[in-house]
């Protein structure tokens, strides 16, 4: 199974963190990075994701919607397990079984930590806004994945 971890696009300010929305630049950055990702998938012969699971925060919802428009996956699902503050995300409880390629839209530092744990890497891979990483995934545990592609900054930054 392939898993692509995607950090939400650049978000503006709001009184509450959960209400922060994408900036105009953030939305265009997500769209541009999605095109770059599609190109990588085509070049490598990788099927695009067929489903997307995202954090319930507004900026992650908006990012998932933009990615849906660009990548045309069939299913989008929200998961509270991807919201900041959860401690069980390493177990991959948000992953869908029997999915060839799943897209996960979430937040820092959680996504980078997943990359480091699942790939059993001492090197910190920090995803900036709209950055992504694709992993060949076997199991949700230390060393259960191999990093295939990482665009930590995304496109246009």
**Do β-strands 101-106 and 132-137 pair in parallel, antiparallel, or remain unpaired?**
unpaired
pLDDT, residue 123, reads 74
Interval 36-63: pLDDT, tens? 999 999 999 999 999 999 999 999 999 9
Going from N- to C-terminal start, the domains of the chain cover 2-151
Interval 83-142: pLDDT, tens? 998 878 889 999 988 899 999 999 999 999 999 999 998 776 789 999 999 999 998 899
| Gyration radius of the chain over CA positions | 14
Q: Cα separation of 82 and 115, whole Å?
A: 14
> What topology does CATH give the domain 2-151?
Rossmann fold (3.40.50)
Interval 91-106: pLDDT, tens? 999 998 889 999 999 9
pLDDT, residue 154, reads 67
């Amino acid at each position: 199974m392939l898993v692509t971890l995607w950090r939400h696009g650049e978000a503006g300010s709001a009184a509450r963190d959960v209400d922060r929305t994408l900036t105009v630049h953030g939305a265009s950055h997500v769209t541009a990075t999605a095109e770059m990702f599609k190109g990588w998938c085509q070049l490598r012969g990788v099927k695009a994701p067929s489903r997307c699971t995202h954090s319930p925060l507004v900026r992650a919802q908006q990012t998932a919607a933009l990615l849906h428009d660009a990548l045309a996956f069939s299913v989008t699902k929200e998961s509270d397990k991807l919201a900041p503050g959860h401690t069980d995300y390493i177990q991959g409880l948000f992953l869908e079984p029997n999915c060839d390629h799943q897209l996960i839209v979430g937040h820092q530092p959680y996504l980078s930590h997943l990359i480091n744990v699942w790939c059993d890497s001492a090197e910190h891979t920090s995803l900036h806004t709209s950055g992504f990483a694709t992993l060949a995934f076997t199991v949700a545990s230390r060393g259960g994945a191999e990093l295939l592609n990482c665009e930590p900054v995304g496109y246009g930054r």
